Amino acid sequence: MPENIVSAVIYAMVIASIYAVLYYLNHKTPVPKGCENLNVKCEGCKISSCELHPSRKIKEEVHD
């Protein structure tokens, strides 16, 4: 049983480390040109409660 737990702890540390390394490498990888501000295009729809709805941006500009 103790060997089992030791294996589990070592195994958990290994896979967590692999994830941490890949996360770091991904973070360091530069974003391709033209993809700096990726977001889902919003042309405006009837879902007016959405934060991305264009009418919300107009209201914010008016308040400002």
Partner 1 sequence: MGEIFSMFIAAVLINNIVLAKFLGICPFLGVSNKLDSAFGMSLAVIFVIVGASIMSYGIYYMVLVPLGIEYMMLITFILVIATFVQFTEMVIKKYSPGLYKALGIYLPLITTNCVVLQVTLDNIANEFNFVNMLVYSFAVPIGFMLVLLLFATIRERLETSDIPEAFKGNPIALVVAAIMALTFSAFAGLV
Token pair 């973070």: residue:
27
Q: What are phi and psi of 19, to 5 degrees?
A: -60, -45
Position among 2, 13, 22, 51 found at the interface with partner 1 (CB under 8 A): 22
Question: Which residues make Cβ contacts (< 8 Å) with residue 45, sequence separation at least 6?
Answer: 53
13 interacts with partner 1 by CB under 8 A:
no
48 interacts with partner 1 by CB under 8 A:
yes
Binding residues for partner 1, rule: CB under 8 A, are: 4, 7-8, 11-12, 15-16, 18-19, 22-23, 25-26, 29-35, 38-41, 45-50
